[in-house]
Structure 1
């Protein structure tokens, strides 16, 4: 099942396709070298734990994926997003990633991961995500 329409794509549809292809070719295929095909030279990260720039992203992905060879690229995403929206040059994608329930062994709780990208000239130019360091709640 395709996530995008087969008719002439709008700017938003083209931008969604870039994000989906980035996930397929780089993240799901575990191929850091492919990142250069999807991001601008001045790619800006809004996540402190991921370095900025095309080279910074590739180095970060190499740390995560290690020296294993890339996996084959699949025709569709292995784990399709539960949400994929675009407005002008911004695309937001959300994935479902159930996590172990700390207080109930052998059960999972619903957890969703969000990524937002700003695109420029058909490439990812900025990135924000919802994965952050966990800290105890602070009460006012």
Structure 2
């Protein structure tokens, strides 16, 4: 049996998502986005524009003109969930938030991102950070 088996599609796709977070988001490097997303990258969130150029512009607005940070070997903190099935990868992070009613206290908060990959790049993105509307009952 070969000890160095070829990584599965799911393993490769998980690594692309992790590397996107490390090289682009954690390193605060908008220019690196083009290395990870397709030119026609589709956002399913209203606050981020479509396309690789749109994502780069959005990230420049967030990170400003500061130089990128060094790329870390691992995500810090590591994701609490990282799953892949075929061309879809879901990653979730734990981001405790200040408790408004209790100064100094925090409550559990999780952020989820889902990506569809095409040819080894991120082609679509959905996330859990959106406007919150009051519940509507049928």
Give matches, 1:31-42, under 5 Å. 31-42=29-40
1:93 to 68, 74, 91: 91
Post-superposition Cα deviations, 1:52-86, rounded to whole Å, max 9, x if no partner, equal 00000000000000010000001111221000000
Counterpart CA distance in 1 for 2:41 and 2:113 is 15
Where does residue 68 of structure 2 map in the other structure? 70
Counterpart CA distance in 2 for 1:78 and 1:7 is 28
1:138 to 113, 135, 138: 135
Counterpart CA distance in 1 for 2:87 and 2:20 is 16
5+ residue gaps, structure 1? 1-5
Residues 8, 42 of structure 1: CA spacing in aligned structure 2 closer, same or farther, 3 A cutoff? same
Note the C-alpha offset of 1:7: 4.9
Task: Number of aligned residue pairs: give it.
Answer: 134
5+ residue gaps, structure 2? none
2:10 to 8, 12, 19: 12
Where does residue 118 of structure 2 map in the other structure? 120
> Which SS does the other structure have where 1:21 is aligned?
helix
Q: Which runs of 4+ in 1 moved over 6 A?
A: none
Where does residue 110 of structure 1 map in the other structure? 108
